[in-house]
Structure 1
Amino acid sequence: MIISRLSQDKQLAITLLKSQQRYLLWTVVLTILAAIAELLPFLILYKVFSAVINYQPLTAYYLIKLAVAMAGVILLRYIFYCIAYYLSHQAAYSILTELRYKLVDKLAYASLPWLQQNPSGKLRQTVIQDVERIETFVAHHTVEGLAAIVCPLVSSLFLFYFDWRLGLAALIIAPVVMLISNWTMRGMSKDYDSYMGMAAELDSATVEYVRNIAVMKVFNLNVKHFEQMRSRLANYYQTIQVITHKVIGGWSVFTSLLSANVLFILPVGIVLFIYGEVKISAIALAIMLGAGILRPLMKVNLLSSELTEVLAGLRRLMPILALKTTNNNTTLTLVEPISLQLSNVSFSYQQQQVITDVSIVLKPATVTVLVGSSGSGKSTIAQLMAGLLIPNKGQVMVADVSLQQLSDQQRSELIGLVTQEPFLFQGTILDNLCFANKDISEQQLETAIKVAQAESLINSLPDGYQTMVNEQGLKLSGGERQRLAIARALLMDTQILILDEATAFADNITQKNFYQALRTYYPHKTILIIAHNSYGAESAEQIIIMDKGSVQEVGQHQQLLARNSFYQTMWQQQQTVMDWSIVSQEGKQ
């Protein structure tokens, strides 16, 4: 009943800890024993003080016995803490492993639209940093936090055992210290969520800045010219300043009062000594224990702050853990031949309308070219047709069946997508080409490479198909990565292929050769080509012109040349570029 009333992040924390309760229970027991052993040397010193004050003879045997006892309790404390830390680390790494397995498993079943809404930088922070923070807290702070609570508690019991008034004097300021601590930390959960959001945005901007620093240097620019970096730095430091101004005053008072109880212990002890209520040795013990009795509260306060961070991380983990681990695996029977269409589809990013009431039909075994100016919604249409986005209105239909009704497997077997910025994995060229289809013949591989205009690339590589590439293919040019990505999509052998600016890095001749080879070797495919121009694909069955998120006009090449000014201008510019040539003029330098 109590757990059910807790917030979901705290319920998740308790669930994770319960999974390792055997290790953690022994960690608690050993930490308590270590904390007690940590205070036993003070009792030994108390015996020495008492003997000295009472003029008792201190024999060598007695001093050696006390020294051995002191060494014994210190060694015992060391052993207890070592075993406690070992067990807490075992529990922490077990939680880390189990949690990472769950997260990876959940992400494997995440829908494409969900992944689109949760960028990789955010997921990386959650899966790596937030989980690491949980591990650190459990591994270290279960022992340190418990010791910070047990040590003052045992010290207080010792003081109350010797004289309740000395114990009360040592703790009289504790309520004030706790009130100041709670007042200082008020609202920190919300502030920390804000801080982590700013930190994640800054991290993303920093990665982008570092990746593009070479380009910045070419134009003699620095961080001052990188507006995104500047604005996120400003937001980050503004958040830090707000938190600092809110905390610094209360924190200063809090730390100053941690040792202020000596101001109460000493006067009370003197008064009690004057009236013969306590001995000097008891006062000395009270001062030794009392001076540090509240000091662990600083550690408790810091742990409370770190616990806020851990709970904030758990809140970020929960949307991933809430994902269903079973996808729609029902294979629907689709009526052949298979078409793909948008039916009155509208889509918006947050409050910005991107496309409005768009209807497009890709008939089987046809080529459709989608052109338009930047920002007209072309790439959004590609992502909608590929199932990466879900429309706000309307339907994406495959053979009269909603695309959302298909399983991920059936969707990927039907629709292939190549984007302008393809991703290559670390491994060989062949590994990347066969990533989605391991059962390909040598003939299929050669055909895909030939159509993708990548033959010269493969032949130029030192080890051909066995050439290693880094993650994201950073050793390859943009055009080379695109050619390999096109070949990989062709090897998937999907009935529908969507090329979203997939030839952006290619020259007009290469682009034309690719489109012609595509029609020749893969005549059965339904192809959507999204580009800034239609050069090489002007024989397409239909050409669609997009403008400001809507379909402006649909037709074939000659029809659009006759009646559409945008298409006329675009085609004229393409022809002008094709007529350019470099002529050598003798006699001129």
Structure 2
Amino acid sequence: MGGRRETSPHPRTLSGENVITRLLAMSPRIRWRLAGLVLLLLSITATYIGQGVLVAQALARVFGGQGAGSIVWLVAAVVALQLLRSGALAVRDGVALRTSAAVKAELRRRLTAKLLRLGPAHAQRGRTGSAQTTLVDSIETADAYVGKFLPQMIAAVLGAVAVTAYLFMLDPLVGAVVLACALLLPVLPLLSDRVLRDRNAAWFRGYKGLYAENLDALQGMATLKAFNASGRRGAELGHLAGQFCRDSIRLMAAVIGYVGGVAFVIGLGTAVALGTGALRLAAGELTVTELLIILLLTAESFRPLKELEAAYHSSYNAVPSLKAVFEILDSPDPAQGTADPSLTGPPSVAFEDVLFTYRDRDRPALDGFRLAIEPGERVALVGRSGAGKTTVASLLLRFFDPESGRVTVNGVDVRDLPLDRLRALVAVVSQDTYLFHGTVRRNLALAQPGATDDQLEAAARAARAHDFIAALPDGYDTVVGERGLKLSGGERQRIAIARALLKDAPILVLDEATSSVDAANEAAIQHALDTLSGGRTTLMIAHRLSTVRTADRIIVMADGLIAEAGPPGELLAGQGAYARLVAAQDGATR
């Protein structure tokens, strides 16, 4: 149990074919929608074929000297086919929108659920802007890909095969010419695939990077202005935008080359088929009617493929975008078991020879860390920044897993607990308080969705938050803004404390819980926290040492290890590491 655990391998890169397979496999409802869309497209192709045959027959009768009466029913049939096609086109657009909307909704549901399961460890591997690009923009590319390209690809192949087969029946030589040119069209994507793939990947990387940098600049605008650095930052963004523009032009050049190749093959096929038919007519091997049908249907045999090219042009950036979505969906979920810590009171918590190193860092944050916290004990972690204090709390909550060693609750490895069960056992008040855009009531109810108004108010009063909440324009229904920006730092901190009080979990983590509280309220809130921690196993992380003097035991950390441990009074009298920290902090406040 204490050894290193193997992790699942990184998911392999998806190809375009795999993206199609994954989309089709998402749900039977989506497959049926796509099948209906393909049938509509084939019906549209059928109207064009029928129209071509009817027009050819009408022209042959006119050229043969027959009167207008002989083509009335042919013209009426052409009009009927056009009306049918107009209706099918209108229905196609609606079905395409509903199909792509269903795919996007399913992708968003799965991706959001996946990101929530992966948690902070995965989120910290990339940038916020890049993640937002994948969650929003990448999924939006499914509109053109699913609604246009994918069904058009299937319908184009089936339609071209049907028309070419009909031309074979009219004249095998003409059919062979059309087939040869039709076979050139699938070759073009194969020839251009490498160029398009590389340029597409460069474009998508540039897009995500530019989005992330712009979001970063907007979020840090006040800092840029304070340091008079907005001009320099703007120049850097301009350079990135220029590089992205060059990547876009290189990609567009490749796409235009592909489009031009398709247009050339279609024109070549039509011209060669028509010339071959004309020679066959001159030799007496074709009738005028058959030549006219060949003239009209040769172009029709390429129409679905030309529409496929247009659909590809509108969705060429979808494959790398959707690959990014599926690569996240394929990321392995954190392992979890079904064990139960069997709590009858506050649990014990233990860290046994824990080794943990953050991604892209060489030095471990915790190196053989060992700590046992008794049920109901209040333990404070102190030490300089970077000593590993917050990492201890992150491992307890399984935001990360140790490389070796284990973390236990009542003797059960946290990796063997269901994640929901583990996190239900822990209430957290962090120094970096996060409030969601919404009302005060909604932010408090995160801890207990079914809480009554009386319970919300009781928790707020205990955290010394009720008075300022009641003074807000709409009281508990006041919208706090993104990240709670309409409130002061101290007010946000008190709402976070009230939220933890409301959760009423048996394990409490206080990560510098009074860091943003003013001196006038600190004593009262500290008293509330002391009351809250009573009867709970409490882990207190502190830089302000005045907040941990009521702890049962103080752990002084340095370089991921315990440098000193004991009751506050003993450590203070011992003149060791803790005493030096207190002396340094007291001296700094004078």
Q: TM-score under structure 1 normalisation?
A: 0.79
Partner of residue 422 from structure 2, selected from 386, 411, 414: 411
Describe how 1:392-431 pairs up with structure 2 within 5 A.
392-431=403-442
Return the offset for 1:533.
2.7
Counterpart check, 1:206 vs 2:218: no
The residue type equivalent to 2:476 in the other structure is Y
Alpha-carbon distance in structure 2 between the residues aligned to 1:435 and 1:140 = 41
1:177/1:466 Cα in 2 relative to 1: closer, same or farther (>3 Å)?
closer
Return the offset for 1:417.
1.4
Alpha-carbon distance in structure 1 between the residues aligned to 2:174 and 2:21 = 41
1:8/1:171 Cα in 2 relative to 1: closer, same or farther (>3 Å)?
closer
| Higher deviation after alignment, 160-169 or 37-46 | 160-169
| Higher deviation after alignment, 81-90 or 533-542 | 81-90
Q: Which residue of 1 aligns with 2:351?
A: 342
Alpha-carbon distance in structure 2 between the residues aligned to 1:234 and 1:545 = 51
Alpha-carbon distance in structure 1 between the residues aligned to 2:231 and 2:289 = 64
Return the offset for 1:32.
2.2
Partner of residue 43 from structure 1, selected from 50, 53, 57: 53
Counterpart check, 1:58 vs 2:67: yes
Describe how 1:158-177 pairs up with structure 2 within 5 A.
158-177=166-185
Alpha-carbon distance in structure 2 between the residues aligned to 1:422 and 1:112 = 17
Q: Is the 8 A contact 1:202 1:233 kept in 2?
A: yes
Return the offset for 1:218.
4.0
Return the offset for 1:381.
1.7
Q: Is the 8 A contact 1:27 1:143 kept in 2?
A: yes
Q: Which residue of 2 aligns with 1:582?
A: none
Q: Is the 8 A contact 1:386 1:417 kept in 2?
A: no
Q: Which residue of 2 aligns with 1:184?
A: 192
Return the offset for 1:75.
0.8
Describe how 1:488-507 pairs up with structure 2 within 5 A.
488-507=499-518
Alpha-carbon distance in structure 1 between the residues aligned to 2:239 and 2:351 = 38
Return the offset for 1:36.
1.4
Q: Which residue of 1 aligns with 2:43?
A: 33
Q: Which residue of 1 aligns with 2:485?
A: 474
Partner of residue 341 from structure 2, selected from 332, 352, 361: 332
1:529 is paired with a residue whose SS is strand
Q: Is the 8 A contact 1:512 1:535 kept in 2?
A: no
Counterpart check, 1:359 vs 2:370: yes
Higher RCO, 1 vs 2 (CA within 8 Å, ≥6 residues apart)? 2
2:381 is paired with a residue whose SS is strand
Q: Gapped runs of 5+ residues in structure 1?
A: 1-5, 580-589
The residue type equivalent to 1:494 in the other structure is A
Q: Is the 8 A contact 2:196 2:254 kept in 1?
A: no
Alpha-carbon distance in structure 2 between the residues aligned to 1:22 and 1:90 = 12
| Higher deviation after alignment, 204-213 or 302-311 | 302-311
Q: What is the root-mean-square deviation in Å for CA atoms of aligned residues? A: 4.3
Q: Which residue of 2 aligns with 1:519?
A: 530
1:72 is paired with a residue whose SS is helix
Return the offset for 1:8.
6.6
Q: Deviations over 1:97-127 (max 9, x none)?
A: 566666666777x365776678787776666
Describe how 1:10-159 pairs up with structure 2 within 5 A.
11-16=21-26, 18-19=28-29, 22-54=32-64, 56-59=65-68, 61-62=69-70, 64-86=72-94, 110=117, 112=119, 132-134=140-142, 137-141=145-149, 143-159=151-167
The residue type equivalent to 1:568 in the other structure is R
Q: Which residue of 2 aligns with 1:584?
A: none
Q: TM-score under structure 2 normalisation?
A: 0.79
1:350 is paired with a residue whose SS is coil
Counterpart check, 1:258 vs 2:270: no
Q: Is the 8 A contact 1:181 1:250 kept in 2?
A: yes
Q: Which residue of 2 aligns with 1:463?
A: 474
The residue type equivalent to 1:350 in the other structure is R
Q: Which residue of 1 aligns with 2:322?
A: 313
Alpha-carbon distance in structure 2 between the residues aligned to 1:366 and 1:509 = 28
Return the offset for 1:485.
0.9
Return the offset for 1:198.
5.5
Q: Which residue of 2 aligns with 1:529?
A: 540
The residue type equivalent to 2:86 in the other structure is Y
Alpha-carbon distance in structure 1 between the residues aligned to 2:51 and 2:532 = 86
Alpha-carbon distance in structure 2 between the residues aligned to 1:83 and 1:123 = 35
Counterpart check, 1:386 vs 2:397: yes
Q: Which residue of 1 aligns with 2:387?
A: 376
Q: Is the 8 A contact 1:355 1:548 kept in 2?
A: yes
1:283/1:100 Cα in 2 relative to 1: closer, same or farther (>3 Å)?
same
Q: Is the 8 A contact 1:116 1:388 kept in 2?
A: no
Counterpart check, 1:559 vs 2:567: no
2:548 is paired with a residue whose SS is coil
Alpha-carbon distance in structure 2 between the residues aligned to 1:437 and 1:269 = 78
1:223/1:312 Cα in 2 relative to 1: closer, same or farther (>3 Å)?
same
Return the offset for 1:191.
6.7
Partner of residue 437 from structure 1, selected from 448, 460, 472: 448
Return the offset for 1:74.
0.4
Alpha-carbon distance in structure 1 between the residues aligned to 2:282 and 2:365 = 85
Q: Deviations over 1:13-59 (max 9, x none)?
A: 443364455555454444323211123333333234324433x1433
Q: Deviations over 1:223-260 (max 9, x none)?
A: 74289968976886686577567666555444433312
Q: Is the 8 A contact 2:141 2:317 kept in 1?
A: no
| Higher deviation after alignment, 319-328 or 521-530 | 319-328
Partner of residue 483 from structure 1, selected from 472, 494, 499: 494
Partner of residue 568 from structure 1, selected from 580, 585, 588: 580
Q: Is the 8 A contact 2:378 2:533 kept in 1?
A: no
1:35 is paired with a residue whose SS is helix
Alpha-carbon distance in structure 2 between the residues aligned to 1:328 and 1:514 = 37
2:508 is paired with a residue whose SS is strand
Q: Which residue of 1 aligns with 2:12?
A: none
Alpha-carbon distance in structure 1 between the residues aligned to 2:478 and 2:291 = 78
User: How many residues are aligned here?
Assistant: 570
Q: Is the 8 A contact 1:343 1:360 kept in 2?
A: yes
Q: Is the 8 A contact 1:28 1:84 kept in 2?
A: no
